[in-house]
């Protein structure tokens, strides 16, 4: 009885795994076929590896430049979020009183504001500040939109660091800012890793904000370049498009397979503390 | 300087950088949007005037496409909240019950979450428009021959399927973490008392993971009201605006079709109010039960 149950469970899991991998597998398979070979038999293995699709997609999406833009935007955003949020979260958590409670509430409030509610006016403000159109500008916007959740996580984490440490350092003549840099920030590393992972995933996969902010194709992210390619072909030339889709998912899938333990831990921690 | 004042100055110095970015890119657009939603500004002219709640009234009574998108989104939210949490919890329980293969299954189920739904949606578009018709024609699975993207009745499910494909893994990871926190001895005690697997789950495990359910439902509720990527890449809102979600309706109102900047902002505020109220009610209801159980 127990064995039958276990076998059933295994079958359900295998079916779910096949469903999950099916689109990726089908895309991979057909990205190596010419349009003709694909139409002939969409399910078969390719008879020879047609790499022309990949070469074309690599050039048309400006893969290297798009990847560089994405990495740059994510770096600016991530660095800013970590610096600003760790400072604010630490001090808000350590300072009792009405003012800090009010500021904290102001930040927390934003987790309930959907991005779509602010995006229209955000584009206007970004244009007025000349932030629109530049990759650095987009990174700065990510700091603004991502900082609140990070503060929330830092705020909770700081409570687990004993106050005696601060006091001992101050008695030894350590200034406020040095205390934060030398003593507190290193102790925040575990939660910083979680915050870095959560924000990297979000910024990397975000589509709407780059779509609204980046006006020149030279500044396009990987997602925007891929989307633009799709616009050019409609959905008629699948063999050209599939290779571009596979290329676009390659960096995240590699990143995931290398660091999956930390990614899953980051997500679980973020949800439980959030 | 008194110590109290000094403390305030230091606090503000530490908070300032975060507050600056937050104020410029979140608070200002939020308050600005709320203000413009009460005006008839077209987004370009120097002059505009206050029109009170006229934009809101128009959106909620005289805009068939907006109302349709609200209805479509509500239907989508209900499907997603129920299915995504049920499937994620089921997968979490099943994966946790395997000893050797659990790492494999967890890795596979989470993978789509790493891929943007823009890319994933295009991938699925290929499945729906090319692969499934091929399979229907050349195998016994002829029931797959549906107009998945062209027929509103099926494109709703196409969007749900793709959203589930992309979103279930995230919740599964949260539920797995929560399940691992349930003490083994409690389950063993229940088994000793003669409870079967289902009863053990219902009366021992489920109450223990209730906080995770609160988070899971909050995340799906909050996330599916904002659905955009999957719809954008799969159907673009079509055919004939039949799959237009609220976010897409706002996007098109603001950046594509009209010059009605104030009106677009009113729709954005309606979305905010709906998400805000519903998630608040959900958290309140579930937190209350958490304390009781």
Tens-digit pLDDT profile for residues A202-249 = 999 999 999 999 989 899 999 999 998 877 666 668 888 899 999 999
Going by the DSSP 8-state scheme, the letter that residue B282 receives in this structure is H
The token pair that represents B88 in the structure block: 């994620």
Distance from CA of B96 to the nearest CA of A (A): 11
Mean pLDDT rounded to a whole number for chain B:
90
In this complex, the residue of B15, B197, B228 whose CB is nearest that of residue A103 is B15
Tens-digit pLDDT profile for residues A82-101 = 999 999 999 999 998 999 99
Q: Mutating which of A2, A25, A85, A144 best tests the B interface, going by the most B Cβ atoms within 10 A?
A: A144
Distance from CA of A122 to the nearest CA of B (A): 5
The answer to whether the beta carbons of residues B111 and B171 sit under 8 Å apart is no
Pick the more confident residue, A174 or A122.
A122
The residues in A 1-30 lying below 8 A from B, measured between CB atoms, are: 5-6, 9-10, 12-13, 16-17, 19-24, 26-27, 30
d(CA A175, CA A181): 10
Residue A112 near chain B (CB below 8 Å):
yes
Residue B149 near chain A (CB below 8 Å):
no
SS3 assignment, position B50: strand
Alpha helices in chain A (DSSP H): 2-31, 35-40, 52-60, 63-94, 98-109, 115-128, 135-158, 163-171, 176-178, 185-187, 189-205, 208-213, 222-233, 238-273
Q: What pLDDT shows up at residue B207?
A: 87
CB contact under 8 Å between B116 and A204, yes or no, is: yes
**Burial (0-12, 13-18, 19+ Cβ within 10 Å), A156:** middle
What number is the average pLDDT over the span A27-55? 84
SS3 assignment, position B141: coil
What number is the average pLDDT over the span A152-181? 87
Stretch (H or E) spanning B79: helix B64-97
CB atoms within 10 A of CB B86: 11
Q: What count of Cα atoms within 13 Å lies in the side-chain half-sphere of residue B128?
A: 24
CB contact under 8 Å between A113 and B212, yes or no, is: no
d(CA B192, CA B186): 10
d(CA B87, CA B168): 7
Alpha helices in B127-245 (DSSP H): 132-138, 152-180, 184-192, 197-200, 206-208, 210-225, 229-234
In this complex, the residue of B111, B225, B265 whose CB is nearest that of residue A20 is B111
Instruction: Name the least confident of A132-146, B120-134, B187-201, B228-242.
Output: B187-201
CB contact under 8 Å between B24 and A144, yes or no, is: yes
Q: Taking CA atoms, what residue in B is nearest to A90?
A: B14
The residues in B 110-129 lying below 8 A from A, measured between CB atoms, are: 110-112, 114-120, 122-127, 129
d(CA B176, CA B171): 9
CB contact under 8 Å between A143 and B21, yes or no, is: yes
Q: What pLDDT shows up at residue B73?
A: 95
SS3 assignment, position B254: helix
The token pair that represents A73 in the structure block: 């935007």
d(CA A89, CA A100): 10
Q: What residue has token string 């403000």?
A: A125
The answer to whether the beta carbons of residues B121 and B233 sit under 8 Å apart is yes
Residue B232 near chain A (CB below 8 Å):
yes
Q: Taking CA atoms, what residue in A is nearest to B254?
A: A120
Q: What pLDDT shows up at residue A234?
A: 62
The token pair that represents B129 in the structure block: 């428009």
B39 backbone dihedrals φ, ψ, rounded to 5° = -120, 170
């Amino acid at each position: 009885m127990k064995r039958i149950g276990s076998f059933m469970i295994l079958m359900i899991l295998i079916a779910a795994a096949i469903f999950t991998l099916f689109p990726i597998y089908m895309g991979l398979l057909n990205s190596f076929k010419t349009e003709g070979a694909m139409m002939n038999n969409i399910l078969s293995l390719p008879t020879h590896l047609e790499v022309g699709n990949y070469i074309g997609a690599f050039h048309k999406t400006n893969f290297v430049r798009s990847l560089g833009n994405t990495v740059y935007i994510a770096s600016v955003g991530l660095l800013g979020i970590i610096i600003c949020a760790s400072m604010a979260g630490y001090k808000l958590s350590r300072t009792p009183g009405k003012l800090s409670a009010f500021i904290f509430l102001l930040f927390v409030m934003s987790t309930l504001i959907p991005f779509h509610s602010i995006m229209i006016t955000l584009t206007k403000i970004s244009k007025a500040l000349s932030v629109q159109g530049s990759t650095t500008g987009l990174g700065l916007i990510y700091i603004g939109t991502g900082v609140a959740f990070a503060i929330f996580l830092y705020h909770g984490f700081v409570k687990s660091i004993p106050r005696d440490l601060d006091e001992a350092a101050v008695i030894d003549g350590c200034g406020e800012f040095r205390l934060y840099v030398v003593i507190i920030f290193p102790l925040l590393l575990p939660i910083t890793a979680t915050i870095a992972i959560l924000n990297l995933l979000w910024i990397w996969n975000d589509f709407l904000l780059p779509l609204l902010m980046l006006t020149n194709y030279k500044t396009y992210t990987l997602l925007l370049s891929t989307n633009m390619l799709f616009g050019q072909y409609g959905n008629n030339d699948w063999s050209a498009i599939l290779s571009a889709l596979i290329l676009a998912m390659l960096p995240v899938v590699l990143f995931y397979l290398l660091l999956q333990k930390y990614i899953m831990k980051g997500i679980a921690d973020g949800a439980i503390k959030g | 300087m008194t110590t109290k004042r000094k403390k305030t100055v230091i606090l503000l110095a530490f908070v300032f950088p975060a507050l600056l970015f937050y104020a410029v890119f979140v608070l200002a657009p939020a308050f600005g949007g709320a203000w413009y939603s009460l005006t008839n500004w077209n987004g370009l002219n120097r002059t505009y005037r206050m029109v009170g709640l006229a934009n809101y009234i128009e959106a909620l009574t005289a805009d068939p496409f907006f109302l349709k998108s609200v209805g479509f989104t509500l239907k989508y939210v209900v499907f997603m909240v129920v299915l995504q949490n049920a499937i994620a919890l089921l997968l979490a329980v099943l994966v946790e019950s395997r000893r050797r293969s659990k790492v494999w299954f967890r890795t596979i189920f989470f993978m789509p979450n790493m891929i943007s739904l823009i890319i994933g949606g295009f991938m699925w578009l290929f499945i729906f428009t090319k692969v499934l018709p091929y399979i229907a024609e050349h195998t016994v699975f002829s029931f797959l021959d549906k107009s998945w993207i062209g027929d509103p009745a099926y494109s709703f499910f196409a969007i749900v399927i793709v959203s589930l494909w992309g979103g279930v893994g995230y919740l599964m990871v949260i539920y797995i973490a929560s399940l691992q926190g349930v003490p083994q001895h409690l389950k063993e005690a229940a088994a000793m008392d003669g409870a079967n697997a289902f009863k053990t789950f219902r009366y021992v495990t489920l109450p223990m993971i209730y906080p995770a359910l609160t988070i899971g439902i909050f995340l799906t509720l909050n996330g599916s009201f904002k659905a955009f990527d999957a719809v954008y890449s799969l159907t673009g809102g079509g055919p004939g605006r039949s799959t237009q979600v609220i976010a897409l309706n706002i996007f098109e109102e603001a950046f594509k079709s009209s010059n009605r900047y104030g009106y677009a902002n009113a729709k954005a505020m309606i979305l905010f109010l709906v998400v805000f109220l519903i998630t608040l009610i959900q958290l309140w209801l579930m937190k209350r039960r958490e304390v009781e159980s």
